[in-house]
Chain A
Amino acid sequence: MSAEPATEVVAAPLPNYLEAESGVASWLNTRDHKRIALLFYVSVLSMFALGGVFALALRTELLTPERTVMDAMTYNRMFTLHGVTMVWLFLIPSIPTVFGNFILPMQLGARDLAFPKLNLISWYLYVLGAIVTIAGMFAGGTDTGWTFYTPYSDSTPTRVVPVVIGIFILGISSIFTGLNFIISVHTLRARGMKWSTMPLFTWAIYGTSIMLVLATPVLGMALALVGLDHALALGIFDPSVGGDPVLFQHIFWFYSHPAVYIMILPAMGVISEMVPTLSHRRPASYTAIVVSTIGIAVVGFLTWGHHLFTAGISELDAGFFGVLSMFVAVFSAIKVFTWTLTLRRGSILITTPILYFFSFLFLFVFGGMTGVALATQSLDIHWQDTYFIVAHFHFIMVGGSVTAFLGAAHYWFPKMFGRMYNERVGTVGAIAVFMGFCLTFIPQFLLGNLGMPRRYYSYPAHFQWLHVLSTGGAFLLGGALLLTLTNLLFALKWGPRAGDNPWASRSFEWLTTSPPPKHNFATTPRLDYDPYDYSLSEEECRARALAR
């Protein structure tokens, strides 16, 4: 591990961003993108824990075909809250607001994001949205599922409005974050950094941000209408007064299908960054990864109809949406092959992040291909609204996004905190996460094949043993995540010093000190080399990037 301090290049050592200021006010009033990233880190992890507790409660209830620990309405609220928490409070903000916030400005060679205050406002809006949503949960919660399908959500006896308002506020936070990233990428790239030499993680966050900015207003509109429908009986989606419930599904999925890519594109960005660095090799094709990122961001908007194959849309519609959905899979597959080929002729550090890459690869490919299977219309008829769907999207969202999030948490841990986690515990954690995940969700694929519908509080008894397996897996997964968290928290204080660049990367963010100083770089960096070219030595890159 090379741990040459940057002080050789930089004249005077600067205090790192953690030590530059102190006191609670210095955190709550900070404009530093790295500190805001940490604020988000703590927030989204708390929400992840909350959503995880909901998930374990659900799995416990499903141990037996009838009542186990809670009644039907509690269960129905619980799966809604699990979905709402995980989707809007954890998955969508997770990688962009934490690692995007922390890493993106550094990869651009910038001192901060374009609008540091707006960044802080994003966090406050997130907190406000989270508080409103959680207050709504405690004030009765809602039982519509995170999809809020009308006309049920118009007439449900539970309280839809607070949760909807909370998500609306979270949407505003997302839009602010997205705008900030887009503008930063356009205006703050280092001297010499072209679109064709921009780091791949930054590309992914840029693509995600465009989707966030374009799609989130549609979600806001859909949810505002549902809230008004529920509160004032406007009947926009209520057929008894001329509304159209299927229209809601179109509007909702116009946002929520791109939302899947909002969750997975940043994860792909993390992988695209980790794989070349850890194998010390140029990506097998930089162009392929960038083109597929843009491809997913564009085609992602044209596939929403595949959620409606059994809702009575026309056969022609179903045909088009089926083909368009397959393009997403092709773009994803290009990435998958490019990452795998990047390993070839590498010099690969077999560490915790690469294990997360490996489990990401397997789970994402399996989950993604079941996605193509689901876009195959005749198969979707049987699988729609069963546990097969549940298993499929958990493969993408947990197997894909969460695995990449954990990979990023380990990969950038020394960057963010300057210390190294325990490698052995990290390895055990990664393997246990993978096994717990497979044990939870592979039985759910089989349940779906058997015909077990989702959102069932009670179920026919012949499904039980698969549910028991799945619940066992969920607790294993929960334990593994707890172990991983403990390992990272422990390393915060007692981990050994990691050095500035433990992975020997050539990318900007690793060329400054770890943890970085308040304004990231002592000098304004410039990029006149390919940040993924490992035929250059680290010293040469540092000298060329940080030369005055």
Chain B
Amino acid sequence: MNPATVTNWLRTMLFLPPESSSVAASIDHLHMFVILTTMIGSAGIGLMALLFILRYRHRGEDLAAGRAPETQKTTPAWVEWGIAGGLFSLFFAWWVIGFGQYVRVRVAPEDTYDVYVTGKQWMWKFAYPDGHHSISRIYVPAGRPVKLILTSRDVIHSFFVPDFRLKQDVIPGRYTTLWFEAPSPGHHEILCAEYCGANHSTMRAELVVLGPTDFARWLQRGDGSTTTPSPARQEPTIATELGPSQPMSLVRLGEAVAAQQGCLRCHTLDGSPHIGPTWAGLYGAKIPLQGGGELTADEAYLTESMMDPLAHHHAGFQTVMPSYLGRLRPPEVAALLALIKSLREVRGQDVRELSLPPPEVTPPAGAIGQPTQPSLPLLQPIPRGPDAPLPATQGLPPPGAQPWPPMRGRVDVGADGVQGDEKR
């Protein structure tokens, strides 16, 4: 019998799923070694005890009387030390192999294909470097190392692909990474392995490995934004609702919405005065109110002004703006907010000609009420290069960064649309 047959048979006996990643086979070999030793060890001890119990059973001896002194002998210390040393050596061998594998599994090679993964109750979202997005299904190329950069919107989730023997907790407020290489095309189940609320068990997704040509074609077709049905509750995203022909950043979407809805007829983007307040430098500024007082122009204020312009009217402007309540969909509001936020550094007339600033990505609605530093965005590209720190080892966002992401009772603006532009 050749070794492959034996391991295949063992794999079946141990109910192990298919080995679909580059590390699965070696992890399974250690698994078999460890479990076989465990079975032999426990069966051996059990058998030994059983034999002793039967061999030395009570046979009518008067137990109240003293027994022969030689029955009371103790085991010499060297036996105990030998057992301890032998077992420790065995366990240490497991550790050496297992720790080596662990380090290999945890430290990604350079030149990976990176996918940004967001977990939220109760779905998985994927953003690709070229601006594609998908929900509940991730597409990756075969035969190439893929690195997932994972974070969570709300509570801890865990990204588990049984066929790959890989799992990584997905933690709000920090990034973790998981890399793998799938040698051949196929479909694999993704399960959430950390309890995350009522629908934890439906937080499943699919990992699709495509051959190099199929993957290139998939990227070309640009249909990554079309979501696929999943057992999880589907939530609309900006990408699906607006259905852009190409993936767009939120800021560019905001431009389109502003033009479409006629915002630009009254508001300017470059600081020049017009019928309404200019959007340049508006975000985070103190707004003098008609009738006294002032307010900070944060997401809450800006959204309110779109929906109910008279509620807190900017002093010095005519009360002519109509309400956009019911006319703007939530993703459009989000896009407008992103546009306005991106213009916060644009000052007065200094800018002759509107050139869209580099899409500075701000945390989604995370900084309500506080003027913020440009802070660590969702799915910000990780610094590349050999010396770049891995986000997983950083733990918390760098100093000055806002704690991210927003969690309860805040506008779910999402930064899903942001990624594409930065890479172009």
Interface residues of A (CB under 8 A from B): 2, 4, 72-73, 76, 143-145, 149-152, 155-156, 238-242, 244-246, 279-288, 309-312, 314-315, 318-319, 322-323, 326-327, 329-330, 333-334, 336-341, 343-350, 354, 357-358, 361-362, 365-366, 369-370, 372-373, 375-379, 381-382, 384-386, 446-447, 449-451, 453-460, 466, 501, 503-504, 533-540
Residues of B within 8 A of A336 (CB): 45
Say whether B14 contacts A240, CB under 8 Å. no
Residue of B15, B57, B204 touching A350 (CB-CB under 8 A): B57
The answer to the question of B4 belonging to the interface, with a C-beta cut-off of 8 Å to chain A, is: no
List 7 interface pairs A-B (beta carbons < 8 Å), by A numbering: A156-B197, A244-B396, A285-B80, A312-B395, A347-B61, A382-B27, A384-B193
In Å, the complex CA distance between A455 and B193 comes to 8
Say whether B56 contacts A345, CB under 8 Å. yes
The answer to the question of B332 belonging to the interface, with a C-beta cut-off of 8 Å to chain A, is: no
Say whether B102 contacts A151, CB under 8 Å. no
Residues of A within 8 A of B88 (CB): 326-327, 330
**Stretch of B131-139, B164-172, B247-255, B337-345 with 4 or more beta carbons under 8 angstroms from chain A:** B164-172
Residues of B within 8 A of A534 (CB): 66-67, 71-72
Say whether B193 contacts A285, CB under 8 Å. no
Do A446 and B193 form a contact, CB below 8 Å, given A343-B52, A347-B58, A365-B45? no
The answer to the question of B373 belonging to the interface, with a C-beta cut-off of 8 Å to chain A, is: no
In chain B between 186 and 201, which residues have their CB closer than 8 angstroms to a CB of chain A?
A: 189, 191-201
Residues of A within 8 A of B66 (CB): 534-537, 540
In Å, the complex CA distance between A377 and B39 comes to 20
In Å, the complex CA distance between A340 and B41 comes to 13
In Å, the complex CA distance between A375 and B91 comes to 10
Say whether B406 contacts A240, CB under 8 Å. yes
In Å, the complex CA distance between A337 and B87 comes to 11
Chain B 65-86: CB-based contact to A (< 8 A → 1; otherwise 0):
1111111111101011001100
Residues of B within 8 A of A453 (CB): 158, 160, 191-193, 201
Say whether A2 contacts B63, CB under 8 Å. yes
In Å, the complex CA distance between A377 and B101 comes to 8
Do A381 and B173 form a contact, CB below 8 Å, given A145-B195, A284-B74, A334-B83? no
- Nearest Cβ on chain A to B320's Cβ, whole angstroms: 38
**Stretch of B92-100, B215-223, B272-280, B311-319 with 4 or more beta carbons under 8 angstroms from chain A:** B92-100
Say whether A450 contacts B16, CB under 8 Å. yes
Say whether A76 contacts B171, CB under 8 Å. no
- Nearest Cβ on chain B to A281's Cβ, whole angstroms: 6
The residue on B at minimum CB distance from A155 is B408
Say whether B74 contacts A358, CB under 8 Å. no
- Nearest Cβ on chain B to A513's Cβ, whole angstroms: 16
The residue on B at minimum CB distance from A385 is B193
In Å, the complex CA distance between A381 and B106 comes to 10
Residues of A within 8 A of B43 (CB): 362
The residue on B at minimum CB distance from A537 is B66
The 8 closest A-B pairs by CB, nearest first: A451-B162, A239-B173, A378-B101, A376-B98, A504-B63, A377-B102, A343-B52, A456-B201
Say whether A311 contacts B198, CB under 8 Å. no
Say whether B27 contacts A379, CB under 8 Å. yes
Residue of B30, B56, B392 touching A376 (CB-CB under 8 A): B30
- Nearest Cβ on chain A to B51's Cβ, whole angstroms: 9
- The winner among B69, B77, B194 for most chain A CB atoms within 10 A is B194
Residues of A within 8 A of B91 (CB): 326, 329-330, 372
In Å, the complex CA distance between A155 and B156 comes to 12
Residues of B within 8 A of A246 (CB): 171
The answer to the question of B35 belonging to the interface, with a C-beta cut-off of 8 Å to chain A, is: yes
Do A310 and B158 form a contact, CB below 8 Å, given A318-B102, A446-B14? yes
Residues of B within 8 A of A366 (CB): 38-39, 42
Residues of B within 8 A of A244 (CB): 173, 396
In Å, the complex CA distance between A23 and B391 comes to 67
Say whether A376 contacts B67, CB under 8 Å. no
In Å, the complex CA distance between A540 and B83 comes to 36
Say whether B17 contacts A347, CB under 8 Å. no
Say whether A322 contacts B195, CB under 8 Å. no
The answer to the question of B321 belonging to the interface, with a C-beta cut-off of 8 Å to chain A, is: no
The answer to the question of B145 belonging to the interface, with a C-beta cut-off of 8 Å to chain A, is: no
Say whether B154 contacts A155, CB under 8 Å. yes
In Å, the complex CA distance between A323 and B89 comes to 11
Residues of B within 8 A of A455 (CB): 195, 200-201
